[in-house]
Structure 1
Amino acid sequence: MTRLIQNLSEISTNYDALFVDLWGCVHNGIKAFPEAVKALQDYRKGGGIVILVTNSPRPWRSVAAQMLSFGVPEDAYDAIATSGDSARTAMHMGAVGQKVYHIGTPDEIAVFFAPSDILDNALEIETVPLEEAEGIVCTGPRDSMADVDVNRPEFLYAKQKGLKLLCANPDIVVDRGETREWCAGALAALYTEMGGESLYFGKPHPPIYDLARRHLSKIAQVDDAKIMCIGDGIGTDVMGGIGEGLDVLFITGGLAAHEFGNDPANPDPERLKTWLADQNLSPTAAISFLR
């Protein structure tokens, strides 16, 4: 039975560490949520450890810089585990070959394809046209507002060549302020639906949780029973946390806010209960917004 709470402090003393989602929980892609920042700062002041676990395709240093610009200070967390770092490690190990076709925005190339600072003897990756590629790396759509079906022609060609697609961000959609945008996960889902093979490294898949635990182990040894995941994505944060055997705090005021009534700050308990039953998932607790 999922417990509906009003403040993180009601249950946070039961945990030594938090794995916290970013987008929709700590910021909205434009600015920080002050109450969420304060809740994490207070938790850390009480001795708790905060590992930010994000499906951002960026390396952690880039995410840290972005968060500062949004108003999330460095004292709100201890470390950052990104889908980008997990995916980049696999890419530099040759998961989709050495010559890859990139799908994403031009500014992501310099960040994602930079030399690895994690691996020794990392494979040097070359971006090439689709016709020359050994695999595909998708950091996101070229146009986050365009229908993902625009990728069908090149995906059909790639599938026929037997190319694997490395997905740097399994999220399907994200809300930037009031605007909903497509993410790399939507393209990877389409490729899989068409019969291609997609490789995932962010939530809800194990590699990013392994990375988060490695970050945590550098600070303290914490049993899984003392770790709680926090997030607003039912198919990423909640499913991933439960799949890892961890407790989960579901943020109802994020991606699925419309499912629980007209007031995101006060989710209807019965609608929440019914919706979670339909999802066949039962997070430990739920809260409207992180605070």
Structure 2
Amino acid sequence: MSPIPLINGFSEICEAYDGVLCDVWGVLHNGQRPRRGVVEALTRYREEKGGKVVLITNAPRPDTHIAEHLAEMGIPDSVYDDITSSGDVVRQHLIDSAPKKVFHIGRDDNLAHYTDLPVTFTEQDEAELILCTSLYDRRVEEPEHYRPLFEELLKSELPFLCANPDVVAEQGDKLVWCAGALAQLYSQMGGTSIIMGKPYAPIYDLAKRKLNAVAGKQIAPDRILAIGDGMPTDIKGANAQNLDVLFVSLGIHAEELGEEHSADDVMKLLGDSGLTAKAAIPRLVW
């Protein structure tokens, strides 16, 4: 495994890349506020270096909603050229596969982003497919609370379409469960889970198409950099796509690494999972 340098700023490596696929939750913000320095880093990359940025997120909502949420949080559109979400690819899958009846697991505000599609949302005993966007209430629930429900759903052998593959995400200073944790449990219980966000190919295919569109050209794979903080999603996905990746080490793995970690600590953490990165950076700063 090649050494993974721990760099101080994105400016140290950015000129090697024409385009960036950048994670959102954990890199741009922590679920409540923007990360310090991230707006400057991506804005300067775009404005001074001419780089293109497509945000790539496992959020179960479409790209337009992500843009609105970022603006409300104080992250301007100077940071990015376009956005690709897990919600985007899941919506397209529902259109293409055309299930007639769908049972939703998750918050009502997530469901609202799918009700315009040509499907009928129904009760579990009538459904042909499960769409999971989140836990019903991640403040008080854990995945094991869903085991009795899954036992009933598995009797009908319903496939489980996961709209957010993240297992956990930062919410301020703590981690909360996401839909990916429910997909894991459903699969462990013998069910079939369908996952289209990171680390799987469909979301990268769409993100790269958007990146090429805003660049007005086909960007060579070795000129694309993925930036992310999640090993099971961002890093694994970039590795599978043969893309260079910048690992933001003080994201969801901050507790494992510790605030004062070294390059060797990063290499061990990634290596233990069979993953690698072009470089690591504690936070995405210029």
d(CA) in 1 for partners of 2:6, 2:249: 10
* Counterpart position of 1:50: 53
The letter for the 1-side match of 2:203 is I
Deviation (angstroms), 1:276: 1.9
d(CA) in 1 for partners of 2:104, 2:39: 35
The letter for the 2-side match of 1:38 is E
d(CA) in 2 for partners of 1:206, 1:270: 30
Match of 2:93 among 86, 90, 108: 90
Is 1:164–1:199's contact at 8 Å kept on the other side of the alignment?
yes
Gaps of 5+ in 2: none
The letter for the 2-side match of 1:227 is I
d(CA) in 2 for partners of 1:112, 1:19: 25
Alignment of 1:121-136 (within 5 A): 124-136=118-130
Alignment of 1:1-291 (within 5 A): 1-45=3-47, 46-94=49-97, 97-115=99-117, 124-145=118-139, 146-220=141-215, 221-261=218-258, 263=259, 266-291=260-285
Is 2:26–2:251's contact at 8 Å kept on the other side of the alignment?
yes
Is 1:57–1:112's contact at 8 Å kept on the other side of the alignment?
no
SS in 2 for 1:56: coil
Deviation (angstroms), 1:157: 1.7
Deviation (angstroms), 1:289: 0.3
Deviation (angstroms), 1:155: 1.0
Q: Deviations over 1:181-229 (max 9, x none)?
A: 1101000010000000000111000000011011112122201010000
d(CA) in 1 for partners of 2:268, 2:175: 25
d(CA) in 1 for partners of 2:29, 2:234: 15
d(CA) in 1 for partners of 2:174, 2:36: 20
Q: Deviations over 1:126-159 (max 9, x none)?
A: 1100001011000010011311111112211221
Deviation (angstroms), 1:100: 0.5
Aligned CA-pair RMSD: 1.1
d(CA) in 1 for partners of 2:206, 2:165: 16
d(CA) in 2 for partners of 1:259, 1:268: 12
Is 2:4–2:263's contact at 8 Å kept on the other side of the alignment?
no
Deviation (angstroms), 1:92: 1.7
d(CA) in 1 for partners of 2:115, 2:171: 25
Is 2:61–2:113's contact at 8 Å kept on the other side of the alignment?
yes
d(CA) in 1 for partners of 2:81, 2:171: 25
Is 2:246–2:279's contact at 8 Å kept on the other side of the alignment?
yes
SS in 1 for 2:44: helix
d(CA) in 1 for partners of 2:65, 2:129: 25
Deviation (angstroms), 1:44: 0.1
Is 1:188–1:198's contact at 8 Å kept on the other side of the alignment?
yes
d(CA) in 2 for partners of 1:289, 1:60: 24
d(CA) in 1 for partners of 2:226, 2:71: 22
Gaps of 5+ in 1: 116-123
Deviation (angstroms), 1:259: 1.9
d(CA) in 2 for partners of 1:185, 1:282: 22
Q: Deviations over 1:266-287 (max 9, x none)?
A: 4223322222221111111100
Is 1:259–1:272's contact at 8 Å kept on the other side of the alignment?
no
TM-score, scaled relative to structure 1: 0.93
Deviation (angstroms), 1:94: 2.3
Is 1:259–1:271's contact at 8 Å kept on the other side of the alignment?
no
d(CA) in 1 for partners of 2:90, 2:111: 14
d(CA) in 2 for partners of 1:254, 1:72: 18
